[in-house]
Chain A
Amino acid sequence: DAGVTQSPTHLIKTRGQQVTLRCSPKSGHDTVSWYQQALGQGPQFIFQYYEEEERQRGNFPDRFSGHQFPNYSSELNVNALLLGDSALYLCASSVRPAGETQYFGPGTRLLVL
């Protein structure tokens, strides 16, 4: 049973560029949440997608956007990258509305130069 997968594993971009990160949820899961984890800190919630719609959003600017596809996979897009966007981006999947807890992927390490 495949767990949550993310791609790419690492990425280097320069300021002002745009980036797209991808996530495939655990088999049987229909909800995807994205988190940003800066070095030495706990993950911070970005947003959650269910039924191809953004359902909840954390305190992140509009430069952060996402999408969920009919197969439940998801993308996170970040525009106009800033140095401060350098972080580990984590995807977590779960099942709604049962409320089963969230299982995390290995993350994508983004470095903005």
Chain B
Amino acid sequence: GQQLNQSPQSMFIQEGEDVSMNCTSSSIFNTWLWYKQDPGEGPVLLIALYKAGELTSNGRLTAQFGITRKDSFLNISASIPSDVGIYFCAGQQTSGSRLTFGEGTQLTVNP
């Protein structure tokens, strides 16, 4: 099935560093979402973006909805060990419709 192109696939960083990851698509999405998934658990919603160009923050996390509606970015500032996990972007074309997910970015934070 269709998936979003998410990069990088994995990141190894030191505690305190900033992190950036992005997601691109050949299709337009009207909602972009970022989830975090810990091993053996379901994805947990971090940030939801509903408008092209929108920049939204949630604590140390900041995400942007690309102007073209075909991409989104997630930044994590001053990383801490509990940021470890897999981050997924997801796009939604119409309200209430299915989510299309990226392949995930595995983040490792070294203390």
Contacts and interface: CB of A to CB of B under 8 A. Distances in A.
A56 B40 contact: no
B33 A4 contact: no
Nearest to A46: B98
Given A94-B96, A97-B96, A42 B104 contact: yes
A99 B103 contact: no
Given A42-B3, A42-B88, A102 B41 contact: no
B92 to A, nearest CB: 8
Contacts of A40: 104
B101 interface: yes
For chain B, the bracket of interface size reads 20 to 34
Interface string B38-80: 0011111100100000000000000000000000000000000
Interface stretch (A62-70, A76-84, A103-111): A103-111
B45 A101 contact: yes
Interface of B: 1, 3-4, 6, 31, 33, 35, 40-45, 48, 88, 90, 92, 94-104
Interface of A: 4, 31, 33, 35, 40-45, 48, 56, 58-59, 90, 92, 94, 96-99, 101-107, 109
